[in-house]
Structure 1
């Protein structure tokens, strides 16, 4: 029988790939992730299926596109009867014929879950078969706990295990200071960043690391392999971090991206302008952005330190040589590119391109892979690791041959991504090759970018005569993706694309 590897899969929330040293960060420091890349494979062209939390995470759990598993928006689903914004208890994640941890459990794995869930509105990780502590909904652990915290996004379920953790450790309830909000007077309900006035042990990333370490220790007592899915709530805003991370990076060190300086929203969908107005962060120029991004960087460095603690625990228990470590994110963050923050109804690389690093004890080391890969490729990869088989119903491709050095390329020439909107419904589809990106906005102007000559995606070439052949080719490819995957937007696309 082949060796049974443990798996530690670490997922961050909304992490811009440019915050990681091995991916080119010039200021933000991530020594543990840089070392992890040296010990495995770094994927430089990894993309999420959809740049929104719940659908992306559900796709990682099920291995299929959002319109197949039914979770199309945060805290909302699309069933056969139409668009439902989380209003009925009988709706939620369609369990379907495949759920990753159930498949791994049948293969003999102990399956644990830590941290942010935000996959199904009504079913918790333990309801799906994981061992762990449930946080239902977006479930920010500090909501209704921290003193002075304005954002109301507490877990739907009780108890709040982070609050219990603070009490059990004898840690004083943290308070937040130095909070910064958006420039929109009608959108002041959520902090963008702030100082957590508390020791690091009272912070949420530390709590996630402690819970992960606890599960590692518990599972290590068994002869069975384990799969632990550890989830940070960050660096997704609000970036509430303790010292030394809050002051680790000088705001003056944050330089504006080219697209911040040059974006005029000319020939761009109106939705892009509306999202910029929603946050209104550029009303005071670049200074507010510098404050936010400096704290975001500090958050990333703290998460990196917590990843280091998890790895050291594996090393101390003698498990590092038996454990595959996966690090990735559900999606990225604009961080000022195109004058935007967060994610939304835009399909720029800042939110769709994600970090993905995989260290296999008996795999290749220090390899950089530029294959076009996607978040849901991890699902068949994990199946392949556990059973040497991949269920036919999964939409992704196993990355195990790359990890073992058996294949140099996956022969994928294009990726397909979907979006139904954030805070407003705005259906989008994207086909991206190495050279071009074509975006079909179902209710607005299309987008076409020459990524070789315009990597910042400033010049929308859609409808321009000089790229008519490219546009036609990519639209045809999108139609094939839609038909093969059963995309419910396909009828509208086929009816309108000829006159779009």
Structure 2
């Protein structure tokens, strides 16, 4: 038994000195952009060192592939269907976009238990800012780098750095030959003037303050550093824009997806992002630029890690790297993220190093972004059960088998630009996606890992489809996602009763 900072006790099989947490999160980050996770052409030495000397999870999934709901899940430890923060503030139709002020958050819990708690960078969880939830607030508003932010502009002036300006804009073409979205551009700034450098400097400043409190008084800290990139558009200085040779880029297998037999909204998204208006060579360059963006962020992460090393806190600090969701970057002829539940945007990087605990290795266990919340609680000596929808991965990082660990994972989507309901069950061998307004999807990942061929209506998969649907239905009911589950019960040919979420007087009459 060990004491936490309030004197409460609980089982904690973690070295007593390991009390601090450093979480580094990126936005819209594909797993295949990182060297230690399989990309031989990536320039990610810092993340590679973290992964090669720590523990990497190859099957980590975001609860939903959109910024605000995913980040709200991290803060609250709850699934989107439970916390009900279901859309980004930008382009939102009707959903709630603020974490309620009375919501439980891990930041408030840590603060109440004597921690320094801070969030630097992207927050994107609505108008109720981190200071309302026990955290020091060094965050900035926006879905993309907020380069007009007054603090950033002042920082540029203080350091005699040039303001933001760009040229060589890469944009597609919309119907009617109208200019489409800007995907990439060259910054007329050195790396030292980028918003990424600004965020890293802010993070290092906050880390210095927390490290001093830790050394002087033993006050532990939890610091989240959230970069806005590599979210598009990719605005980079020349050295990073041209870092990766496009000839080293192999177009993804699903780049040529016809989208035939799939929900029509996917083709609409391909049109929205003008993905077909770029040639194959142009796409190789765009992907190379995206990898260059990852490399530039890796460089800034290195500066933060160097500062932590110089401050002498790494032996006392659990370090995690992850992302809120992935990005298509041409996969399935789409860009950004959206109403399609492919691994390109749902599978996210997750690397952990817990001093004195983590072995060096890999795990293909199904883990969720919400498990990070439970893990932070575990490291703090607090009860991970306060995170209702996550589990601590501490024992997994030892390389241990954890009894009762999930054998599959369920994800959800509620819309972006417009409300649209989707639910997904991902197993080792299959993926089932239920689209309430359109075509359902089933992918046999054993022979089709790129998720190209929808076999939902193929007769040979009938039994498999029914079993997967039953399992998804069971988990949706268990999660409290009753409305979608009821819809499934009417739409899928499996043997489950059509039940209402609450009995009515009419139910009583019928049952009698």
Residue 254 of structure 1 corresponds to 249
Structure 2 contact 230–293 (Cα < 8 Å) conserved: yes
Match of 2:135 among 130, 134, 144: 130
Residue 212 of structure 1 corresponds to 203
Question: Unaligned regions of 5+ residues in structure 2, if any?
Answer: 4-15, 496-512
2-side partners of 1:243 and 1:345: how far apart? 33
Structure 1 contact 113–132 (Cα < 8 Å) conserved: yes
| C-alpha distance after superposition, 1:16-58 (max 9, x if no partner) | 1000001111212111111101221100111111111111111
Residue 191 of structure 1 corresponds to 182
Deviation of residue 410 (structure 1)? 5.8
- Count of aligned pairs between the two proteins: 475
1-side partners of 2:494 and 2:271: how far apart? 31
SS of the residue 2:380 aligns to: helix
Structure 2 contact 18–355 (Cα < 8 Å) conserved: no
Structure 2 contact 62–70 (Cα < 8 Å) conserved: yes
SS of the residue 2:172 aligns to: coil
Structure 1 contact 126–134 (Cα < 8 Å) conserved: no
CA RMSD of aligned residues (A): 2.1
Residue 150 of structure 1 corresponds to none
Larger radius of gyration: 2
Structure 1 contact 10–327 (Cα < 8 Å) conserved: yes
Structure 1 contact 362–404 (Cα < 8 Å) conserved: no
Residue 153 of structure 1 corresponds to none
| TM-score, scaled relative to structure 1 | 0.90
Structure 1 contact 42–367 (Cα < 8 Å) conserved: yes
| C-alpha distance after superposition, 1:440-472 (max 9, x if no partner) | 001011100110111011111102211111111
| C-alpha distance after superposition, 1:125-170 (max 9, x if no partner) | 223221132323426322xx4xxxxxxxxxxxxx632222212222
Residue 84 of structure 2 corresponds to 70
2-side partners of 1:291 and 1:69: how far apart? 39
| TM-score, scaled relative to structure 2 | 0.88
Equivalences for residues 262-281 of structure 1 within 5 A: 263-281=257-275
1-side partners of 2:77 and 2:194: how far apart? 32
Equivalences for residues 114-193 of structure 1 within 5 A: 114-120=120-126, 122-138=127-143, 140-142=145-147, 145=148, 160-184=150-174, 188=179, 190-193=181-184
Structure 2 contact 321–351 (Cα < 8 Å) conserved: yes
1-side partners of 2:264 and 2:397: how far apart? 42
Match of 1:352 among 346, 349, 364: 346
The answer as to 2:100 corresponding to 1:94 is yes
Deviation of residue 93 (structure 1)? 1.5
1-side partners of 2:278 and 2:384: how far apart? 52
Structure 1 contact 371–410 (Cα < 8 Å) conserved: no
2-side partners of 1:391 and 1:96: how far apart? 19
